Chain A
Amino acid sequence: MTEKKSTRIAYGEALKKLGETNKKVIVCDADLSHATMTSIFADEFPERFFNFGIAECNMVAASAGLAHCGYTVFASTFAIFGAGKAFEQVRNAICYTNANVKLGLSHAGPSCGEDGGSHQAIEDIALMRTLPNMTVLVPSDANQMEKAVFAAAEISGPVYIRTGRLPTEIITDEQTPFNIGKANVLLEGKDAKIIACGIMVAKALKAADMLKEKGFNVGVVDMHTVKPIDVEAIKKAASTGVVVTAEEHTVIGGLGSAVAEVLLEMKADVYFKRIGIQDRFGQSGKPEMLFEEYSLREDDIALAVEQVIFEKNRIKEKQ
């Protein structure tokens, strides 16, 4: 796990690769093509790239217009602007009309670092998840990102793809599947399961390693599709009796909430905890420092899992 690459670069490269075979692919950006990495596509196919300037709302609704004329449109900007500022355009122009637009939004989560809280989207998964017709993808590494882009192009309709700025570990290989709506179980475990998405999957794997040394057998699920969520995978995770979710996002409304909804409705006999940002905004800093400040490190995940296992055992003993 030494090789590192950001999912945004993988996103840009995947768009170019997709554009080579699929001539109906159009890419839009809002003056951030060198940050979202759509510039890789733009350099190759300038005639199929539209820069809308610093006007995200117009870009989002115009993308819907292009899509309704038969194109597969990938629209990109920072997640805070695409999912936040242009939310109503995403809702009414893209989702309400079921337009074939893929929103590849970058710089999500505090891992985007020094730009600070104004730029770190921590609520995008929650916002996008509420919208009918929307599929929500949070790929865990650069390899998965390429597969996610191709999978998104395969389905007709709106897809949100969350990309990140920070180079992160490659944890999957060519053979790892990416099927929308089907979580990847990266590690089986009988004492607990960590359900993670995005860059937290790599941290979850490290946490499982740390816990192994302490004698715990902990599994890891890569829940790359937050919507539609893989209910079966959650059911299996719940059978361990301990589920911990991990996301680089507020714990309100994101992956943790989605998993909790499923667990409660299936009346799972489970002990549960959400790792994520605890109802705060981000701030400037080096990503590693921010992970520490917001308790998003592998150590934090490992500690949380251990605590929940401990709590479960203590209560079960009493019964």
Chain B
Amino acid sequence: MNVQEKARKIRLDILDMLYKSQSGHPGGSLSCVEILLALYDNVLRYDPKNPNWEKRDRFILSKGHACPTLYAVLADNGFFDAEELSNLRQLNSILQGHPDMNKCPGVDASTGSLGQGMSMAIGFALAGKMAEEPFNVYVLIGDGEAQEGVVWEAAMSASHYKLNNLVVLMDYNGLQIDGTNEQVMNIEDICAKFKAFGWDTLEVDGHNVEEITEALLKPKGEKPLFIKCNTVKGKGVSFMENQVGWHGKPINSEQYYEAVSEVKK
């Protein structure tokens, strides 16, 4: 399966999960498909048969509401049976509405409260530095998430402790629940902000797996790395693309069939 086919498959999984559960977050899940594919197919060191392997690289989906994408990718890589995907957001499911590390194999950190994934990653990265066999830590945050003050507490501590084993990717789709970032709370020049906090920064097309992979595999400098991934919220489903309303809306049957047929094309 080539990378486009794979991305299509993940998008179909996401639509199936969200349609079945009649809740969840389509827009931000569809926008980060290629980012997660780049990480899980090309970058992260892990063992699906031993999800708690000490030497693994860690990945934190700090924008936890996009977990359908993570679950689809984890299932695709053998962390659990793909049949589980139909239990998203159901009682006693391993696939909680936001990722739960104690319920779902392969989830390295429970997230959902925006901003906290960054801080937990600081702890992981400090531990990664002290480990006999050092590991890397990758975090995906949302663009609106940068409005949380604790993100900047974490950013400050990452450069202070020279955590060059830490990479933060931002799913920069420009939209949040109440409108565009610019309307709600402008995050302005995000790369300049991270640079000012002592980070290296890169900017990539967040729907180009090759480009994301290349950025992730670049030799690391002495600083933590921030990668701005330019994306489209709702990517792949034209009536969802760049629509504020599709942050967290249930998909009706008509919309579901329309979306699926479009993704399959």
Contacts and interface: CB of A to CB of B under 8 A. Distances in A.
A58 interface: yes
B122 interface: yes
B102 A98 contact: yes
Contact of B101 (A55, A63, A89, A97): A97
Contact of A65 (B100, B102, B122): B122
Given A50-B161, A55-B153, A93-B116, A62 B126 contact: yes
Nearest to B127: A69
By size class, the interface of chain A is 20 to 34
Contact of A70 (B102, B122, B127, B154): B127
- Name B's interface SS: helix
A58 B150 contact: yes
Contacts of A60: 119
B149 to A, nearest CB: 8
Contact of B116 (A70, A71, A73, A89): A89
A291 B157 CA distance: 40
A58 B118 CA distance: 8
B156 interface: yes
A66 B101 contact: no
Contacts of B150: 55, 57-58, 61, 89
Contact of B119 (A50, A53, A57, A98): A57
Contacts of A57: 119, 149-150, 153
B127 to A, nearest CB: 3
A69 to B, nearest CB: 3
B110 A61 contact: no
B127 A53 contact: no
B78 interface: no
Contacts of B124: 65-66, 68-69
A99 to B, nearest CB: 9
B215 interface: no
A50 B150 CA distance: 17
B116 A61 contact: yes
Interface string B112-152: 11001001111111111001000000000000000001100
A64 to B, nearest CB: 6
B109 A65 contact: yes
Contacts of B153: 52, 55, 57-58
Interface of B: 54, 100-102, 108-110, 112-113, 116, 119-128, 131, 149-150, 153-154, 156-157, 160-161
List the 10 closest pairs (A to B, CB-CB), nearest first.
A65-B123, A61-B119, A69-B127, A58-B153, A55-B153, A66-B123, A65-B120, A62-B123, A62-B122, A65-B124
Interface of A: 50, 52-53, 55, 57-58, 60-71, 73, 88-89, 92-93, 96-98
Given A62-B123, A62-B154, 19 more contacts: A55-B150, A55-B157, A57-B150, A58-B122, A58-B150, A62-B119, A65-B119, A65-B120, A65-B123, A68-B101, A68-B109, A68-B120, A68-B123, A70-B54, A71-B127, A89-B150, A96-B110, A97-B109, A97-B110
